[in-house]
Amino acid sequence: MRKITVLLSTIAGLGLSQAASAADLGATKVYTKAPPPAVSYGWTGSYVGGYIGGAFNDGNTRTSDPLGALPSANYNTGSTFIGGVTTGYNYQFSPNWLVGYEGDTGYQEFKGSGFYPGSATQSASTTSNGWFSSLTGRFGYVNGPSLIYAKGGATLTRFDSTVADPTTALLFDRKKWVVGYAVGGGWEYMLGNKWSVKAEYLYLGFGDNISPGGPASTSLGGIHTARVGLNYKWDPLSLLFYR
């Protein structure tokens, strides 16, 4: 009787062990997907891009009479569409501050004219049809993908100032590249690691005389520009070492 009891206990123990093993083999393992890596917004590096926008003159343009007999002609050069390309470099530090430089070249088309007071035939005109460039430094505050910045530097634009009177064969024409100053600021936002969009205001100033060296002088109010752009961050050395 005792042997039968021991045998039954052994069989029962083996059955429970097999059942536990079967339960372990049949258990489903649950795998959890790792969260996607966080996007890193690093601003340091070179970039290229393009922009479009508009510009208008700050006040009237004034051209003196080359003969000194009439008051200056006053007229407005209006507004223009602008568009161009941009290149630059950013360096992020401390870690929410940024310094860098930016160069841009664009196209504009200003034109205006007016008669001299007291004359129905003698007129003055000023045009700026063609390319203009600026080179500026940038300083800004970084908050993740967002950058708020100020900028300032120099600008280069060609102006053509003309005085004409068909009744007296008077003709004065002065074409000159003029160096001025550029100040402004804007906001830029990164779209991932490479692309960014921006909105920017830039004021271009040229002083009192954009046609020096002639009998007539032309003074031009500054130019207000507003633009939106798209930039792409890249490494120029990758073109040399790409395989």
- Would you say residue 28 has pLDDT above 80? no
Could you tell me if residue 50 is inside a domain? yes
| Cross-strand pairs, 202 | 184, 225
Q: Does 207 or 105 have the greater pLDDT score?
A: 105
Give the tokens for residue 22: 């079967």
Mean pLDDT along residues 219-223: 87
Alpha-carbon gap, residue 234 to 237, rounded angstroms: 9
29 part of a folded domain: no
| Domains identified in the chain, total number | 1
Q: Residue 61 falls within a domain, yes or no?
A: yes
Position 236 pLDDT exceeds 90 = no
Residue 75 corresponds to which tokens in the numbers above? 């007229």
AA letter at 224? H
Distance CA 51, CA 82 (A): 8
**Cα distances (angstroms) measured from residue 220 to each of 9, 75, 145, 160, 240:** 109, 10, 39, 12, 45
| 3 state DSSP class of 11 | helix
Rg of the chain (C-alpha set) = 36
In a domain, 105, yes or no: yes
Cβ within 8 Å of residue 186, ≥6 positions away: 148, 149, 151, 198, 199, 200, 201
Burial class (CB in 10 A: 0-12, 13-18, 19+), 74: middle
**Concatenated DSSP letters for 45-107?**
EEEEEEEEEEEEESS-EEE--TTSSSPPEEE---EEEEEEEEEEEEEEETTTEEEEEEEEEEE
Question: Which band of pLDDT confidence, cut at 50, 70 and 90, is reported for residue 169?
Answer: confident
Partners of 6 in the β-ladder: none
Evaluate whether residue 34 is within a structural domain.
Answer: no
What range does the domain containing 187 cover? 45-235
Q: Does residue 152 belong to any structural domain of this protein?
A: yes
- Residue 23, domain member (yes or no): no
Identify whether 215 is preceded by a cis peptide bond (ω within 30 of 0): no
- Residue 19 falls inside a structural domain: no
DSSP 33: P
CATH number of the domain enclosing 78: 2.40.128.90
Residue 3 has pLDDT above 80, yes or no: no
Residue 58 has pLDDT above 90, yes or no: no
pLDDT value at position 31? 52
User: pTM of the full predicted structure?
Assistant: 0.78
* Both tokens assigned to 66: 């080359």
